[in-house]
Amino acid sequence: MSQHDRTHHARIATGKGDPQCFAGTAGGPSKFKVGDRVRIKDMPDIFYTRCQVYTRGAVGEVAVVTHESPAPEDEAWGHVDKSEWFYIVRFKQTDLWPEYPAAFAKDTLQTEFSERWLEAV
Amino acid sequence: MSHDHDHDHGHNASAPMVDEISDFEALEIAVREICIEKGLFSAEDHRKFTEFAEHIGPTPAARMVAKAWLDPEYKKLVLTDAIAASKDVGVDYLNPTGFGTPSDYTDLRVLEDTPTVHHVVVCTLCSCYPRPILGFQPEWYRTPNYRRRIVRWPRQVLAEFGLTLPAEVDVRVEDSNQKCRFIVMPVRPAGTEGWTEDQLTEIVTRDCLIGVALPKPGVTSNLELPVHRAAKPAHH
Amino acid sequence: MPVPENMHAPAEMAECAANWTPVPLLEEIKEHGRVWGDLADQYGVTNPDPPWKTSLDGMCEVLASGSCSSMAAAEKRWLAGDVVREAMDAPLPLLERRWEEDELSATLYQDVPFPERQLLALTHSLIKRGLVDPDVLKTKMKEVHERLTAT
């Protein structure tokens, strides 16, 4: 990724860390809170995303409101002027994989999303 | 592409991996599983020897877990601000670069196991890993085999590591796909009453911190094993 | 570490020297299996070893002993020139494996790069001892391949 400007990252994150350097830049409080039920939107990801295909359309519960940061879909191209809240969402495995054994119905999986991927259920 | 840094911002995020199961890879697994089925060794014993083969000593993350087991106040800090808690075990995420290295991201989260919930960590997208506190990823953590299957068949994959969890323990897979990094804090095992921090640190092996093994008294990451030298060494 | 003068394979091992019968399944893997060097080049990977290498090392170790202390004791005796077979009740004692690996690396598998030939040699040793059946192995490999590529 030679075209990516790493000195920019170092400049904004020095002394604070990343994502801490983006604290307070999402333009307000988080839209969702711990315990909220959310559905993962199935949006196109033509260029770059870190939102896994296996979660698209699934419904889960917000487990942690983690931090503010530019979404990877923007940050990958150097756009860091707009941030979003990030959430760790907990899914029941049986909601992600139809063949997941019913004997282990309480098994779960957690993964993280930026706010744009979530809608209230 | 750089290999000293697990998560670039570009769209080609991770170091490349071989996305193909070769006959040799299948052969290694098949021979191993036949031996296990025949009772020549257990999957867990094999995992221990493999961990040893990867030369993993106690990590700062192991000490963090051991300290948290002993000190409820420190445990609170570990669970709410793991970056701050890291300093107590000699890891400053902002040094030496000032912005976090070798993994750029500095949101460390500790997943606390309970008697009924067991966590296991993966990065399905590449191989995100809390390197400042846990060192380099083991090779298997980077394989498509682990990354693809642990999210979908976690109990099967854990059993391949020799960890069979009873049905009353729920498995929680953590897919580390953004800027958070994770380690697992296992339940302190029975038989460690009265142990010192150093003793406890030794049994929290790397695999326990990823969640593919559980700590046990007597099982440490720095076993004394002899070096076997070939009479006629094969040249590499 | 200096190699003691008396370090040599016991007589009963040496007798097997001419017994390296090719195993058809392993010959097929030798001919058609893609070695790490090729795969690494194709995918642009720079790791010197395939991901299964440490697992293979772990398997060799665990086959050599159920306990580390007995392995250390066995090696100490061996280095002292005292090769005691009964002390080695492991499925595949380390001295035998290393000796066979060396022999096979110089004969049947001399054209196979390392560590693929280490894996072929280990498998060969296990087949030779009746610990692994080639037909079972063939079926198992197919099953493993299907499991690892399941979608």
pLDDT digits over A13-37, tens only?
Answer: 778 888 998 999 999 999 999 999 9
When mean pLDDT is compared across B13-22, B110-119, C8-17, C50-59, the lowest value belongs to C8-17
> Distances from the Cα of A36 to the Cαs of A62, A64, A88, C55, in angstroms?
5, 10, 11, 43
Does C72 contact B at CB distance below 8 Å? Answer: yes
H/E stretch holding B47: helix B43-53
- Are residues A107 and B12, on separate chains, in Cβ contact within 8 Å? no
> Residue A54: helix, strand or coil by DSSP?
helix
- Are residues C144 and B139, on separate chains, in Cβ contact within 8 Å? no
pTM value?
0.73
pLDDT for residue A39 is more than 90: yes
- Are residues B41 and C101, on separate chains, in Cβ contact within 8 Å? no
Across chain C, what does the average pLDDT equal? 78
Assess contact for C40 and B18: CB atoms under 8 A. yes
Closest approach of B203 to chain C, Cα-based (Å): 17
Q: What is the largest CA-CA distance in chain B?
A: 56
Shortest CB distance from A52 goes to which of B13, B98, B177?
B177
* Per-residue pLDDT, B57: 64
Chain B nearest-CA residue for C5: B231
Beta-bridged to residue B114, according to DSSP, are: B117
Instruction: In whole angstroms, give the CA distance from residue A80 to residue C90.
Output: 60
pLDDT in tens, chain B (236 residues): 333 343 433 334 466 788 889 999 999 999 999 999 998 888 988 888 787 777 666 789 999 999 999 999 999 999 999 999 999 998 888 875 566 654 568 899 999 999 999 999 999 887 788 888 887 778 788 787 898 899 999 999 999 999 999 999 999 999 998 999 999 999 999 999 999 999 999 999 999 999 999 999 988 865 555 444 444 555 54
Per-residue model confidence as pLDDT tens digits over A59-73: 999 999 999 999 988
More confident residue, C77 or B78: B78
Closest approach of B107 to chain C, Cα-based (Å): 28
* Per-residue pLDDT, B140: 85
Assess contact for A115 and A84: CB atoms under 8 A. yes
Against chain A, the chains showing at least 3 CB pairs within 8 Å are B
Closest approach of B141 to chain A, Cα-based (Å): 17
Instruction: In whole angstroms, give the CA distance from residue B99 to residue A12.
Output: 8
Q: If you write DSSP's letter for every residue of chain C in order, what string do you get?
A: -PPPTT----HHHHGGGG--PPPHHHHHHHHHPPPHHHHHHHHT---SS-TTHHHHHHHHHHHH-S-HHHHHHHHHHHHTT---GGG--SSS-HHHHHHHHHHHHHTTTTTSPTTHHHHHHHHHHHHHTTSS-HHHHHHHHHHHHHHHT--
> Distances from the Cα of C62 to the Cαs of B227, C6, C91, in angstroms?
14, 26, 9
Mean pLDDT for the stretch of residues C42-53: 87
* Neighboring chain B residues of C123 at a CB cutoff of 8 Å: 27, 31
pLDDT for residue C5 is more than 50: no
Q: Is B126 a catalytic residue?
A: yes
* Per-residue pLDDT, C85: 41
**Residue A68 phi/psi, 5° resolution?**
-105, 145
**Residue B118 phi/psi, 5° resolution?**
-115, 130
